[in-house]
Each structure stands twice: as C-alpha cells, then as structure tokens.
Amino acid sequence: MSDLSLILTAIGSIALLLFLVMKVRLHAVVSLILVSMIAGLCSGMNPADIANTIQKGIGGTLGFVAVVVALGAMFGRVMEETGALDQIAHTLLNKFGSNKAHWAMTLTGFICALPLFFDVAVVLLIGIAFAVVRKGGGSVVKIGIALLAGIATCQAFLIPAPGPILVASQLNADFGYMIVIGLLASIPAMILGGPIFGSMIAKKVHVELPAHEQQDNMQREGSVIPSFLLSISIVIFPLLLIGLKTIVSRFIDPHSSLHDWLALIGHPFTAILLACLLAFYALGIKRNIPRERIMDICGSALQPAGVIILVTGAGGVFKQVLIDSGVGAALGNTLAGSGLPIVILAFILAAAVRVIQGSATVAMLTACGLITPMLAPLNLDGAQLAAITIAIGGGAIVLSHVNDSGFWLANRYLGLSEKQTLQTWTVMETIIGTTGAIVAMLVSIFL
C-alpha cells in the first residue's frame, strides 16, 4: 500500500475508535482491540499475523506496566489511607499561608500525585482544595486550577507516573534523565498553568463552592498521623533510587558487578517495590496497624488498577499494529520531509491523537508507535529519548475537551459549566503541555 493509504488508514482507525467509545459506548478495551484488528486488515497485514501482533503488543506493554501500575497502586493507597498524603498537603499549606495557598496547592498536587493515578489523585486531594477555599484561601477556580495543574504536570512529565514511565520504557529512554528533564519541564509548566493562569482566569470565571464538597475529617488508619518528614521521604525514596543508578553508573566500569547491582536497584520495578515495603513498615507495622489491614488496603488498590492495566495493554496493541502494519513508517516518511525536529514531531503526533480520541495514555502509546520507526536511523541516546518522551507527554495533554475524562472530573468537582471548563481546564492543560514540550525541545538542542 502507498504511504498515503496507510496514513488514511491510521486516521480512519482513530476516528472509528472515537466513534465506538463516545457514541456506541463500547468499553475502551474492546474498542481498542477491535479497531486494532480492523486497522491491521485495512493496512494490508496478513490476517494470520494480526493475532501475533496483538499478543506482542499487549505482552510487550503489560510486561512492564502491569508491575509498575500494581505496585504504584498499592503504594499510593497505603500513603492515602494512613494520612501521609494529607500530612504533606497540610504542612505545605501551613508553610505557604493563606495568601499563597494557590502556590501550596500546586506543589501539593505535584508531589502527592507521584504515587497515584490522575483520577485517584483528583478525588483524594480535591477535598483539601475545598477546605482552603472555606478558610478564605481563594476562589474555587483559583485554588482548584492550581491543584489540578500540579497533578496534571506530574502525570504528564514525571516518573513513576504511569504514562511517562510507560513511554520511556517503550522508547528505551534513560529513567534518570527522565527525572531531570521531567523536572525541568514540570517547574515552569505547573507555575504558568497553575498559580499564574489560575489567578488570571479566576477574575473572569467564578463559581460557588460545590454542594458535594468533601469534609476534611476522614478517619485514617493508625492512632497518629505520620510526620511530614517521614511522609515526604517515602514519596521521594523511589526517585532517589532511580536517580542514583543514573548518576553513579556514569562514573564506574559498566562491566563491573556494582554497575549491575545499580541497574537492578535503580530499575522502576525494584525502586517502587522497595518503596512499598518501606511504606508497609514505616506507615503500617511500626504504627501498630495490623498486617492483615495493610494487605486489605493493598487488595482494594488492585481492583481499580486492573482496569487501568487492561486499557493500557489494549493501547499497546493499537501501537503495535501501527508499527507492524507500516503505518508508523509511512507517517515517518511523510513527516521526515517536513524538516521539523523529531521532538516537535513527537509533540504534534501526540497532540493530534489526544484531540481525536481523548485519553492521554492512549495518545502517548499511539504517538510512541508512530514515532518509533522514525527513531531507528537516528541512533539517539537515552537522554535524547527522554526529551522525546517529555514532548510526547506534553502533546498528550493539550486541548483537553469533552472526550477526555479529566475534562469531566474538573467540570464535576469544581461545579463548572462546559464553557467554563473549556476556559479553565482546557487552557490550563494546553499551557502545561506546550510549555513542557518547549522545554524538551530546548533541552534536546544542547544534549
């Protein structure tokens, strides 16, 4: 098939996916696998090879993401149930004061979302935003957008958030550089999209505190809330392990046993596993919470994680079909003549998929599948691949609208109309994604 035919197949497949999910209301897992099969057939793949491609796509994706998501879900739930996340949030609010509460909320969302999924982070932390508004810390829009900006920035650019870590693993990006470049992209992105934009748009958009506001008197596990130092240390612990591997390994023999041990300790599997064990002991056993209760908390965390794992795996199937069918290569051939840097192309591809089908995770995976064939002849190192991963993360969150679950979370919890949600949430996401991508592009120039 010609490159044009393959590209039209990709566009048609994404449109069909959008139709099945939004109009037919077919489950995302079923829709992704069905569309993957149709895309394979329409692109001229041998029907006998399609099943193998599906198996390779879901296996290659879940081989990594299932472990990260499962361990991350348990880690985040223990942090939440024991009050560690609450402690971080309230301490930051006390330090900043009510006049700068929106800055505190952005930082709270950014830090506390590290071990959580986006929607879980919103549900768990929105009550703190309402409490700040009740205490006179600002308007619902100003405080709410600040919190959402911190969460969205973390989920787009930082590991161990599921999306960035998954794309980084698919592209073989260096996880240590992911942390460094992710922070470089996150800081200006969340400042512009959160406190600055939130303060500006709050002057034009005003809503009352929603009737469903959450009270800040939830019962927590354990007799005493853990200290801020302990809570923040546990959140940062896995990041330090991953960063240690990247930094130290640069100064030792790559064939030494120490290098091999660092590779194991600094891998996300090991880092998050050790963080889980530390949380179980420091937040649970040491505070006299029964082991059975800790395991019950972990079990409850795995139920919603299972759905996320399956949807992500199905997204991996679609990505693999795009690769094996030649669609990715065709698009690469078409765009290669544009003269645009690979980082900008990664951003554009992710943004296009995001606008069409809504899900940031699927946009990341699809863009990953489209960009992978372009990377082979470039021989990029792990740092450059990390910059491309950040650009994909930025493109995958821009222009959020009615086909994105995050749009409706912001709409529902902040009590906004659809127009107000576009004015606030959509613009905030676009600011964050574009800023992060610009930073990634600048960083890639000097790598």
C-alpha R_g of the chain:
22
* Residue 402, pLDDT above cutoff 70: no
Could you give the C-alpha distances from 355 to 206, 336, 404, in angstroms and in order? Answer: 27, 22, 9
pLDDT of residue 212: 43
* Residue 300, pLDDT above cutoff 60: yes
pLDDT of residue 221: 62
Look at residues 225, 81, 202, 54 and name the one whose alpha carbon lies nearest to residue 137: 202
pLDDT of residue 280: 92
Cα(307)–Cα(445) distance, rounded to whole angstroms?
39
Helix axes 382-395, 140-157, angle to 10 degrees: 140
Cα(395)–Cα(353) distance, rounded to whole angstroms?
9
pLDDT of residue 349: 85
Predicted confidence band at 216 (pLDDT cuts at 50, 70, 90)?
Answer: very low
pLDDT of residue 117: 66
* Residue 220, pLDDT above cutoff 70: no
Q: Name every residue whose Cβ is closer than 8 Å to that of residue 207 and which is 6 or more positions away in sequence.
A: 140, 141, 414, 415, 416, 420
Question: Poorest-confidence range of 50-59, 131-140, 202-211, 434-443?
Answer: 131-140
Dihedral pair phi/psi, residue 59, rounded to 5°: -70, -45
Q: Report which of residues 74 and 407 the model is more confident about.
A: 74
Q: Name every residue whose Cβ is closer than 8 Å to that of residue 445 and which is 6 or more positions away in sequence.
A: none
Look at residues 188, 191, 227 and name the one whose alpha carbon lies nearest to residue 106: 191
* Residue 83, pLDDT above cutoff 90: no
pLDDT of residue 217: 47
CB 351 within 8 A of CB 303: no
In the predicted model, what is the mean pLDDT of residues 104-127? 74
Dihedral pair phi/psi, residue 52, rounded to 5°: -65, -35
pLDDT of residue 23: 80
pLDDT of residue 340: 78
* Alpha helices by DSSP H, 337-381: 342-357, 360-375
Look at residues 440, 437, 362 and name the one whose alpha carbon lies nearest to residue 405: 362
Question: Poorest-confidence range of 168-172, 318-322, 422-426?
Answer: 318-322
* Residue 337, pLDDT above cutoff 80: no
Q: What is the dihedral of CA 267, 270, 271, 273, to 10 degrees?
A: 150
Mean pLDDT for the chain overall: 81
186-197 tens-digit pLDDT = 999 999 999 999
